[in-house]
A and B are shown apart, each in its own frame.
Chain A
Amino acid sequence: MPGARHSLWDVMRDKGYSRRDFMQFCTFAATAAGLGTQATAAVAKAFEKKDRPPVLWLHFQECTCCSESFIRASHPLVADVLLDAISLDYQETLQAAAGHAAEKCKNDVMKNYAGKYILLVEGSVPTKENGVFCVIGGRTAEDLLQEAAKGAAAIVAWGNCASYGCVQAAKPNPTGATGIQKLVGKPVINVPGCPPIADVMVAIVTHILLFGRLPELDAQGRPKEFYGRRVHDTCYRRPYYDAGLFVESFDDDGARKGYCLYKMGCRGPVTNNACAVTKFNGGTSYPIQSGHGCLGCSEKGFWDNGPFYRHLPSFPGFGIESTADSVGLALGAGAAVGVAAHAVSTNIRKRKLIHDQVAEAVQDTPVSEKVD
């Protein structure tokens, strides 16, 4: 396969897609990149001429939910094109090749397209015990990652795992799992979520293919377009939040009416993601629409911020049932008791002092004012 790289249009045509399919894909790519449909012609031109870059997709410590999400993009044509024509030159779950053939394909890409290929990473990388917790083909995850990252033109971290470590990195993090950003020393596009939204994943890949550069990122390396707002900012239950109408338990009247899930521990107000706009499964629904609060699955360390069904996490060091309020209330009560005890003791221990002062004051007062 390496050597004769063709444009996207060449590949699609060879695989039997019609010109119409191609134009549909270009329309999608234009909107996904935020350009609007009037840019379709320019996009089509680019995809006709430009050589498509090879794409490598590596799997480390993960559950494959990112891959599962990816293949469920809302427009089936888009997923088809990306899987079929863009060709994931190496994707352990989906590739047809196996064993040495697959490895050869990957090595060829890394050699022949150094500095040109796109690297997509799913899963976290263990760093403890020299990385023995994730070894593929006799090599550690970190080794494989570093090798592939060296010549990559763009690196994408799929999901919370590759971005922040996800559940593997939850306390006490036995394998020393970590996201890839701090390992590769290059800019990484973090696309957190458990899993990330299929259409967001597709849009990011299309953006890179189209422009050949990274989308605009925020301070945490997330594409601003999809992670610039909190779930809460676009949640359709928001009017109930402002009105102070909350679900108090999952079987109450408020739950039936679709009140806000804030008091059920909804993490929407502290979670940056596009769920409420893009939704899942082709725009069908997202967790809050199904009556369950947001878990904050696209935030760093969300597994350690439990319990999930309470507004705030338990207070560090005081056990699972503690809240900042229970600890604070105890301290407040302690202070009140302490102050009361101090007041009593003052009147006993400083009796003489106060007595003297009063005596002095009485003495100092002019005789005419000593009424009694």
Chain B
Amino acid sequence: MSSRHTYRRLYVWEMPVRVYHWLNALSICVLGVTGFLIGKPFTVSLAQEASGQYWFGTVRFLHFTAGYVFLFNMLVRTYWGFVGNRFAAWDKFIPMTRKAWQDIVEVLRIDILQTRGTGRIPLGHNRLAGLIYFVTFLIFMFQGLTGFALYGPMSHSVLGKLAAWVVPLMGGELVVRQWHHAMLWFYVLFTVVHVYLVFYHDYVEGRGTTSSMVGGWKFEREDLLED
């Protein structure tokens, strides 16, 4: 059933989205590794005096610095959701129409049941991916809030003071820490599944998904383009 198709090249991810993406991925990797070390510091076996080193302080410093990058990067992306192109727009993340839910079912059929797709998959985020990123954004916000709530008492950060209400709400700093720590595993899970799905959709759709986050371009069959 193969037929000749012409593909058009489309600019999907603008520069701010791409910069956001890689800064986000980088800061999360740094936060994850340093965060894990804060929760489970390794053992320095040589008998030493405290004056000779500062490695734990450095790990914490990196965590807090990456935390700032992570937070402001997220804020920039949120802003871009209102001024960027239609692929980056905020409404791509929240399924509000019947069509959107049908699209989600369609993607689930392709991904999980692994049947052959019937309709076309949107060129930007597919609707399921959009929904997952929405949940992810909420968890980003949770991580930022709990992180800065913990950061408040150990710094003069204004952001820390702004998040101070989180501590009594959650029932104490230890509980905040517990959940801040537990969420680390969400990021591990997300990264494994996300990177796999990017590769997978690239493989089965053949539209250049993976490289799109580098150059911004994706490809679509001309006969399937709507406008």
Contact = CB atoms under 8 A, between A and B. Distances in A.
Interface in B150-171: 153-154, 164-165, 168, 171
A350 B204 contact: yes
Contacts of B116: 350, 353
B55 A243 contact: yes
A339 interface: yes
A271 B177 CA distance: 12
A346 B4 CA distance: 25
A346 B39 contact: no
A321 to B, nearest CB: 15
Nearest to A340: B196
A334 to B, nearest CB: 9
A95 interface: no
Interface string A296-321: 10011110010000011101000000
Interface stretch (B45-53, B94-102, B134-142): B45-53
Contacts of B53: 243-245
Determine the main DSSP class of A at the interface with B: helix
A187 interface: no
Interface residues of A, number: 58
Nearest to B183: A324
Max count, chain B CB within 10 A of own CB: residue among A229, A270, A272, A313: A270
A216 interface: no
B79 to A, nearest CB: 31
Contacts of A272: 153
Contacts of B47: 253, 257
A363 interface: yes
Given A233-B153, A342-B196, 4 more contacts: A244-B53, A245-B48, A301-B171, A335-B188
Interface of B: 1-5, 39-44, 47-57, 59, 114, 116, 153-154, 164-165, 168, 171-175, 177-178, 181-182, 184-185, 188-189, 192-193, 196, 200, 203-204, 206
The 4 A-B residue pairs whose C-beta atoms are closest, nearest first, are A328-B185, A244-B56, A270-B173, A324-B182
18 contacts: A233-B153, A239-B51, A243-B49, A243-B51, A270-B177, A300-B171, A301-B175, A312-B181, A325-B181, A325-B185, A328-B184, A335-B188, A335-B193, A336-B192, A339-B196, A346-B203, A353-B116, A363-B2
